[in-house]
Amino acid sequence: MMAKIPAPPSTTHLALPFFDDAHRALASELLPWCAAQEVDERDDRAACREWVRRLGDGGWLRYAVPGSAGGALERLDSRALVLLRETLGYHSPLADFAFAMQGLGSGAITLAGTPEQQSHYLTAVGKGEKIAAFALSEPDAGSDVAAMAMRAEAMPDGWRLNGEKTWISNGGIADFYCLFAKTDPAGGTRGITAFIVDATAAGLDTSGHIDVMAPHPLATLRFQDCIVPRAAQLGELNGGFKLAMRTLDIFRASVAAAALGMGRRALAEAIAHAKGRRMFGQTLADFQLTQAKLGEMAALIDSAALLTYRAAWMRDDAEQRGAPAVGDVSAAAAMAKMCATENASRVIDMALQMHGGLGVKVGTKIESLYRDIRSLRIYEGATEVQQLIIGKSVLRG
């Protein structure tokens, strides 16, 4: 069950000029909805399915698909995704995961799917009736996508898939996978094509579940002579790498937002603990050392928030104007992702230290946040990859 949730220290960030009234209304409706939810998360797979159902029933998954598929907005809106993931991450990192994977797992269909593909998959995703997954990583191809070994061989009536994907979120519970495979083995990143593979496809084995320190559904997918129809091709032949990167670019700032939500929750927990913990005749909050730590935590969160909101605004602004972005959107998203995940890790660590022994007690919120935040510094581009993206942007001027 979800523990008692302290109110966020402040919601003044909603007044920043990065957001408009529609975003503020979204946040004001989402906050009480999240606070009212109570899901038993001891079984991560069952809990993830339950969160998808609730998010669909609540209408929140409509922000993960475009208006043409029943979405809440005409197109995917980075600022809406940021506010949703920040708020969900504050309340339940698993709820954030469930929401995020509906968007990321179907994002390639939003960007490049045929009308038939979008109608069949996206509407169901937005209602929580189908669970989506994004299958890019392999045992020897994580950050180095060009090293992909998964093969898709053209056949008269479709494609034959052979290979392995791993670290796949929603693996084993997804209804379909947006999969990336080599169609030109000698083509490097220019030889990759995307496909939609239903979980029921013959030759697909999703039973290789992976247990991690902060439980959520992960699996290794094995394809052995898995046949999919011609219509399963997603986007252009050999255009899969660009499609994968475009999909990740949309959601990278939202990863920063999830970290931001977790960091805000750690700060709120630290404030509540400091005000209530008595020692040496006063509260922990009365000590100047505590005040200094809380001040540092607040500054780390706010600095990450500004980078996160800026990155989301830059992408949305360029999309709305149909014009080049004001600055390098990829670099801005990389800065947000790097700083927010690293800063939130520091904040959560300081909050745990402030809790003393309670901070490492299994079952406390701070202990679970300490485990939850760690993977965010790795997935969807590790911190080191973000540094490379930023460095190359700086050198280009």
Q: Indicate which residues carry an active-site annotation.
A: 380
CA pair distance 247, 251, nearest whole angstrom: 7
Residue 205 contacts residue 34 (beta carbons within 8 Å): no
Residue 218: name the closest of 282, 258, 172, 177 by CA.
172
Look up tokens 């994907």; give the residue.
165
Torsion 213-42-91-294 (CA) sign = negative
CA pair distance 42, 280, nearest whole angstrom: 38
Based on the number of CB atoms within 10 Å of its own CB, is 378 exposed (0-12), middle (13-18) or buried (19 or more)? middle
Q: What is the pairing mode between strands 204-209 and 218-229?
A: antiparallel
CA pair distance 255, 173, nearest whole angstrom: 21
Reduced to 3 states (helix: H, G, I; strand: E, B; else coil), residue 94 is helix
